[in-house]
Structure 1
């Protein structure tokens, strides 16, 4: 017998909890100037417990070929990757209308 999700009651193969969680997120992507004039991309708002933020960070680092970390619930990527990060997040199933990009530094 297959395992059953405790939230939605569906079998783990058909569970939609993560998909629903991704669609409900309000994500903000912004650029921040760091030491020595270096730019950093901050992704805020991925807070649901159904989404593993470290997995999202690893996928973004791999796709964007940059360094990064998770600090205080935010993903920090080295470099200017705001538009590319938005495209990647949309590809991972996040809603395009829920992602806001702030370009000003």
Structure 2
């Protein structure tokens, strides 16, 4: 049996996760966590036509619903700050992924009311 072509064993699966010199190592960029470069990639919102769309989605979340906020037209820290304010207004958790704010749970009405109060033009999307 020729092992030279396919034999990588478990050594191909290992990655450095801790070093006694620098501490924890980022698994993505292999830099110390304190100087990690992959976490500094800016969050960019999807293109905006001036209308913020709020929808509810359960796809790919084991039946758990989330409220999606799309089309904000914000980038980086402004988007993260708005997401934090929306989560606080709803009393729920959430995240920002690919420029889309996700708030855990069905909070479409609260999110729409909050954004309209801040002067955004908001539409309910998808049912």
TM-score, scaled relative to structure 2? 0.55
In the TM superposition, what are the counterparts of 1:1-16 in structure 2 within 5 Å? none
In structure 1, the residue matched to 2:90 is: 64
Match of 2:113 among 79, 82, 87: 87
Structure 1 gap segments, 5+ residues each: 1-23
Work out which of the two has the higher radius of gyration on C-alpha atoms and give 1 or 2.
2
Specify whether residues 103 and 82 from structure 1 end up closer, same or farther in structure 2 by C-alpha distance, changes over 3 A only: farther
More helix by share: 1
In structure 1, the residue matched to 2:123 is: 100
In structure 2, the residue matched to 1:76 is: 102
Coordinate RMSD, CA, aligned: 2.1
Do the aligned partners of 2:67 and 2:105 also contact (CA within 8 Å) in 1?
Answer: yes
Structure 2 gap segments, 5+ residues each: 1-48
In structure 2, the residue matched to 1:32 is: 57
SS in structure 1 at match of 2:92:
coil
Structure 1: how far apart are the matches of 2:51 and 2:112? 12
Structure 2: how far apart are the matches of 1:48 and 1:55? 10
CA drift of 1:103 comes to 4.8
SS in structure 1 at match of 2:66:
strand
Q: Which moved more, 1:56-65 or 1:34-43?
A: 34-43
Task: Give CA deviations for 1:32-74 in whole Å, capped at 9, x if unaligned.
Answer: 014221101100001145x811111111111110001111011
